[in-house]
Structure 1
Amino acid sequence: MRQPPPIIGTLETALYARDLVAASDFWVKIMGLQQIAYQPGRHVFFRCGAQILLVFDPDATRKPPAADSRLPVPSHGTDGEGHFCIAIDGGTILHWRDHLTANGVAIEADFEWPQGGRSIYFRDPAGNSIELAEPRIWNKE
């Protein structure tokens, strides 16, 4: 079997939300991400460190592109809660807890991993499980 070419890393991650206004408010106002694209009823995109977070309305993205579309992206979408983990500096985790709680976001779990590192979990308005974690949970510094 031939080896595949090298991979640089993850460029974008997608979550799904039917209320894109609530998603935008959460990711900009609570999480501090920069919104970089918005198409009402279809998607809202954000810069998240070196990655891009894509939030799609699954009902819109399940529809195949029009035959004359300049963006022939295959249809996609899902129902149910997704998961997204954002790397943070361990020294900011208590500040993040306080910030989220002060903004009415309930912390579902606060966990010290056996191999080292800590994560906190909470939900975005669409019910997706969001994790803030120290990179060392995966032996990354």
Structure 2
Amino acid sequence: MKVSPDIPTPSAILEAALYASDLDAAERFYGEVLGLEQIQRVKDRHVFYRVGGSVLLVFNPAQTEHPPLNPDLPVPPHGARGPGHVCLVLTRDEIAVMRKHLLDWNIPVDAEFDWPNGARSLYVRDPAGNSVEFAEPHLWS
């Protein structure tokens, strides 16, 4: 498929969303275990984290299926069921440190391997069953 040169090409992903019905468990995992900076929590609707220049959004799917109550922020209803996936960037040495840290928290490793291009990946599950990958930045180079 040929892309029209008249269409602007996005330069980055600004945010990624995962869904978890237990936001307290998600908050413990992403905030306490992974040490991500929380930037917003709205009761049982969502909790958001800064990840470098991007934001990881964790929504309660039952809450985001309803239209927002604030007419000034008409975000369309959305949601997903079942496990999703997010990949967070770490160096190879940082992946090794993260592996030990996760095991210290009794979080089992789902998979760990080197891709054909040499990039290392480590996979675990968050409390909602979402696949959380830690990979070297050259994975998609």
CA distance in 1, matches of 2:61, 2:92: 34
Residue in 1 that maps onto 2:18:
15
1:86-101 pair list within 5 angstroms: 86-101=88-103
The percentage of aligned residue pairs carrying the same residue is 46
Residue in 2 that maps onto 1:109:
111
SS at match of 1:55: strand
| TM, length-normalised to structure 2 | 0.93
Residue in 2 that maps onto 1:31:
34
Counterpart of 2:51 (choices 20, 45, 48) is 48
Q: 1:2 to 1:94 in 2, by over 3 A?
A: closer
Distance apart, 1:3 and its partner CA: 2.6
Distance apart, 1:2 and its partner CA: 5.6
Distance apart, 1:89 and its partner CA: 1.2
Q: CA RMSD in A?
A: 1.2
SS at match of 1:116: coil
Unaligned runs of 5+ in 1: none
Distance apart, 1:116 and its partner CA: 1.2
SS at match of 1:7: coil
| TM, length-normalised to structure 1 | 0.93
1:64 aligns with 2:80: no
Unaligned runs of 5+ in 2: none
Distance apart, 1:70 and its partner CA: 1.8
Paired letter, 1:7? P
